[in-house]
Structure 1
Amino acid sequence: MTRHPGIGRYRWVVLTAATFTQAASGFFVQGIGAMGVHLRHDLDLSAAQLGLLLSAAQLAPLAGLLVAGELLDRHDERWVVGAGAGVVAVSLAVGSLAPGYAALLLVLLVVGAGYSTVQPGGSKSVASWFDPSRRGLAMGVRQAGLPLGGVLAAAVLPALAASAGWRATLVAGAAVAFLGAITFTAFCRRPPLPLTGIPTEAEASTGAQADGRLRLLREPAMVRILVSRTSLVAAHSGIGVLTVLHLHETASLAPGTAALVFVAVQAAGAAGRICLAAWSDRGRSGASDGHRRSGRYAWVLVCLVAVVVGLVALATPAGRSPVAAPLLFVWLGFFGIGWYGPWVAHLAESAPPGRTGFALGSAMAVNQVAIILTPPALGLLKDVFHGFAPAWGLLAALSATALALTVRTPGTRPARRHFRDMS
């Protein structure tokens, strides 16, 4: 491959901008779990209602991710992502005037609509700038933006809520999201030359219509991608909404201490996204497409195993220990949040010709059901059984089932080539 002289330097600018925008756009929503104790007190919420706040931000992407995927395949991602991050900023600013819980739910619905463009758009932008030998690391760094935003949110928002009230946290979230929108629009560009491993629009076939897209989602390889993500997304959601509550109510940690542990959990997740994705790059530079993708997916399976172990341990007496419980949550942060790095690199490289945006958007949209249902369902389990063990047990069962199903899924020819064959 002939490398354009500008690619080597500017790709790191694009990666930095995309990572910051990811962190900035998800800043407020990632901090809801850390503010759990304060929100429950100020708004008189149950655990299920707290979980519903997280679900509200994820409801609009159920359709929004599909729309975003189509827009990203038709328009420059800098404008699509910049506009979406701008919507997040404006809606949070308006939300600071919300009179109560119901209005806050509505605000978060709009936030989710804007955020729909950020995940697939940033992933597509970064993937287009890095060749296969470094793409896993780059995607891992970029996807670390979400837990990095969670680290900052967990460190800042609970203290801000305690001193200035929950409305001030929305103003802070709006300001951070606006900076993200400006940064992405100003610095993210398409590369001057296409790189290997990511199909471009020029390769796309005219037969890539709705029928072919539905067939793609039914491919065994894509089913495996979706099943693994569903269970891991559910685990990630559970970690986000229940960590602070579990540490406070079950492990007897003070709210401030529990929030600090949540900071460590998010930091572990950021480290996991980078490290796991970087490890998935090892030996990839000379590998064929099929071997490269299977190598990346092996790390997703490792994460599934580690998540099952951590969740089961939380349901034992170790989950009540003020020493062991924080360590278990850090473990779950590394694997239960870190899995996204190798997973999204695997998905981007499996995308059909010229449909990277559609593949990213559709895969994320299909799993929005789990993202929407998990937080309130886990909160309801906690309210009904007055404990966290049933919630952790359910997540462990889902992860174990996904592991069994994906290991059994037979290998198939790459989805990219199959998509061409259907045209």
Structure 2
Amino acid sequence: MSRRWSVLIVGLFAMVAGCAYQYGLPYLIPALRADAGLSLSQAATLISCPVAGLLVTLALWGVAADRWGERVVLATGLTVAGGALLAAAAVHHLVALGACFFVAGAGGASIHAASGRLILGWFAAHERGLAMGVRQTGQPLGVGLAALALPPLAAGTGLGGGLVFLACCCLAAALLVAVVVRDPARTGGHEPHGGRSPYRTPVLWRIHAASALLVVPQFAVAAFALVYLVDARGWDAATAGRLLAAAQVGGAAARLAVGHWSDRAGSRLRPMRLLAAGIGVVMLALTAGALTGWGGASVVLVVAAVITVTTNGLAYTAVAEYAGRAWAGRALGIQNTGQNLLAAATPPVLGSLVGGSDYGTAFAVAVAFPVVAALLIPVRSEGAPAHSATPEPTRARS
């Protein structure tokens, strides 16, 4: 296996390990309530602490990756996250648990800034979309790993068992990064902006804004899909959960297909605009179905769960390519910060609009966001095909 594919596989494992605790802690809520004696409200606050740590440090990790390289940033961040999760397994006080989760999230933020930058350096433009799609499957795979592993571990060994498992995943990923990953060579070749800030034009700001807006329908579906099927459609929770787990697998496959499409098209932003428009249409259909009680709305919900996640990899690739290697870490850090802010805000804001089993109102509000995003995406800025955006990667540094 070539070095670049080894780097990609290790980067994917790092994403899985990070996302398993960043977005998979809800599967430990029963153990948090039983072992630590927390109320539902306290447990819900605790599981948001990793995202809070993520938001605070994303841009800083991006700066560090641009300055010191991806390998040291990934290994350091994953080690910090693993150590914090081990510490969390040894404490039970609310404040101490929150602090450990916050530090774990702060360490894991390095994954989002540095692993995407690795792909920019190791893969040529005509294969970068697929490679970034592989990387982006780490989020659904990480959540799926948490869903499979944490409930039985917590049932058998308590909260500590689940946290030790998550810590071991992070520490194993850190070790693999240190052994396998090598930073791409800094060739001193052409940079898209001559090494100067790419933020002197509105292009990156428009991609950031569009990407953040597209998070709203994604998390509207993710947050309310299960309860909609149970409350409004009368499904059994276990059956609904299995259907949505299958939808996550479909979303992961769709990310790969969309990445390959962008490589063949030589464009990231044109497919992204088409998909944003498609998301708007699907969300409108879901809204109509939910408001009228149409039975086919369940099928549309699955389609929405798949299509709403397809633009993430395109946006990441477009940001990294436009910024160039000198600024990619910082740009990806800013990209992730905006997306996670709206991801955190979407469920509580839309949830306040839901009355009883009337989820159509929440879905209706989400319709406008992909439409505005499609208008914001700066398709004309791509100019030449993505194949010529940056030079081919060269040998790694030792």
Q: Same fold (TM over 0.5)?
A: yes
* Counterpart for residue 389 of structure 2: none
* Counterpart for residue 253 of structure 1: 235
Cα distance in 1 between the residues matched to 2:274 and 2:305? 14
Cα distance in 1 between the residues matched to 2:94 and 2:234? 28
Cα distance in 1 between the residues matched to 2:8 and 2:157? 34
Shift of 1:53: 5.3
The 3 A distance-change label for structure 1 pair 162 and 391 is farther
Cα distance in 2 between the residues matched to 1:175 and 1:143? 22
Shift of 1:366: 3.6
Cα distance in 2 between the residues matched to 1:53 and 1:394? 28
Shift of 1:166: 4.9
**8 A contact 1:251–1:322 mirrored in 2:** no
Shift of 1:149: 1.4
Give the SS at the match of 2:233. Answer: coil
Shift of 1:240: 3.5
* Counterpart for residue 16 of structure 1: 9
Superposition map of 1:345-384 within 5 A: 345-352=317-324, 354-382=326-354
Superposition map of 1:13-162 within 5 A: 13-32=6-25, 43-45=38-40, 50=44, 55-99=48-92, 104-161=97-154
Unpaired runs of 5+ in structure 1? 1-7, 195-199, 285-294, 417-423
Cα offsets for 1:374-400 (capped at 9, x unmatched): 233234444x66643333222222222
**8 A contact 2:82–2:171 mirrored in 1:** yes
Cα distance in 1 between the residues matched to 2:230 and 2:5? 40
Q: Percent identity?
A: 28
* Counterpart for residue 167 of structure 2: 174
2:360 pairs with 1:389: yes
2:214 pairs with 1:232: yes
**8 A contact 2:269–2:377 mirrored in 1:** no
* Counterpart for residue 297 of structure 1: 269
**8 A contact 1:81–1:122 mirrored in 2:** yes
Please give the root-mean-square deviation of Cα atoms over the aligned residues, in Å: 3.5
* Counterpart for residue 309 of structure 2: 337
Q: 1:219 aligns with which of 176, 201, 204?
A: 201
Give the SS at the match of 1:190. Answer: coil
Give the SS at the match of 2:115. Answer: helix
Cα offsets for 1:306-350 (capped at 9, x unmatched): 322333333344589797455334322322122112221212211
* Counterpart for residue 369 of structure 2: 398
Q: 2:285 aligns with which of 291, 313, 336?
A: 313
Shift of 1:130: 0.9
Shift of 1:17: 0.6
Shift of 1:54: 5.8
The 3 A distance-change label for structure 1 pair 379 and 172 is farther
**8 A contact 1:59–1:372 mirrored in 2:** no
**8 A contact 2:210–2:372 mirrored in 1:** no
Shift of 1:273: 1.5
Give the SS at the match of 1:334. Answer: helix
The 3 A distance-change label for structure 1 pair 374 and 111 is farther
Q: Which amino acid aligns with 1:250?
A: A
Q: Which amino acid aligns with 2:219?
A: S
The alignment's TM-score, normalised by the length of structure 2, stands at 0.82
**8 A contact 1:39–1:166 mirrored in 2:** yes
Q: 1:184 aligns with which of 177, 180, 198?
A: 177
**8 A contact 1:33–1:242 mirrored in 2:** no
Cα distance in 1 between the residues matched to 2:363 and 2:32? 22
Cα distance in 2 between the residues matched to 1:251 and 1:40? 29
**8 A contact 2:19–2:142 mirrored in 1:** yes
Q: Which amino acid aligns with 1:183?
A: L
Q: Which amino acid aligns with 1:242?
A: F
* Counterpart for residue 266 of structure 1: 248
* Higher alpha-carbon deviation: 70-79 or 306-315: 306-315
The 3 A distance-change label for structure 1 pair 160 and 329 is farther
Q: Which amino acid aligns with 1:123?
A: G
Cα distance in 1 between the residues matched to 2:317 and 2:242? 30
The 3 A distance-change label for structure 1 pair 54 and 302 is farther
**8 A contact 1:231–1:395 mirrored in 2:** no
The 3 A distance-change label for structure 1 pair 387 and 86 is farther
Give the number of equivalent residue pairs: 384
The 3 A distance-change label for structure 1 pair 35 and 301 is farther
Cα distance in 1 between the residues matched to 2:46 and 2:188? 38
Q: Which amino acid aligns with 1:303?
A: L
